Amino acid sequence: MVFLDKTKREERLHSYAVFSTLFFDLPDETFVDMLKSISMDDLKGSEGSALLVHYVDSIKEQNTASVLQDLRVDRTHLLLGAVGNYMPAPFESAYLNLPVQQVLMELHALYRQEGYGFARTKSEQADHIAKELGYMQMFCEREIEEDDEDTLVCMREKEKCFFQDHLGRWAYLFARDLLGHAQTDFYRSVALMLQEFLDSEMELLNQ
């Protein structure tokens, strides 16, 4: 197992937190203003981040309300099962064609065991993409505060099991569909960056 330094742990936590938030929270004017303030220095050089930089450059002079409307329409199309959208709803059970109750029972047991509570997603079922990302985020938060190597090994093993048994089995498919169905370069960039992040997570968790 590779032990990450604090900076790497914080970067990993930030990534899970950002993706979880993006797939749960509705964009607002503050979010658009934040996007407009992004610079290339804030992003690593990857295909996804390059597309995000391109998108940010394209909206800097646009009216915030117009940008927000485009993002909300695209998000609804992608994540809320809008009419005419052939992308499955963002749930593990939907993507893996598994009985909903079976998946929910497994996840509820895991969440209870780890004391995982994600207040923002109480309205979402346990296998929603935001909730599963948030579960991994919880472990990243704990890793930052933990120095005992045996405890860290135990945490990482739990993360690996969850990634193999749940999130990693369908998040790639979700990212692929997100990329294929997105109407804005923003959500296309999110899809690419999610794919890149999942690749890095698989590599880390298999070490």
Per-residue tens of pLDDT for the chain, all 207 residues: 777 888 999 999 999 999 999 999 999 999 999 999 887 666 667 899 999 999 999 999 999 999 999 999 999 989 886 556 678 899 999 999 999 999 999 999 999 999 997 655 456 789 999 999 999 999 999 999 988 999 999 999 999 999 999 999 999 999 999 999 999 999 999 999 999 999 999 999 998
Q: What is the pLDDT of residue 117?
A: 79
For the chain, state the CA radius of gyration: 17
Burial (Cβ within 10 Å: 0-12, 13-18, ≥19) of residue 95: buried
Considering the four listed CATH numbers 1.10.10.10, 1.10.3480.10, 3.40.50.300, 1.25.40.10, the one that applies to the domain covering 6-205 is: 1.10.3480.10
Q: What is the pLDDT of residue 81?
A: 64
Residue 110, CA distances (Å) to 15, 30, 117 in order: 22, 35, 11
pTM of the model: 0.93
Q: What is the largest CA-CA distance in the chain?
A: 52
Residue of 126, 135, 125 whose CA lies nearest to 159: 135
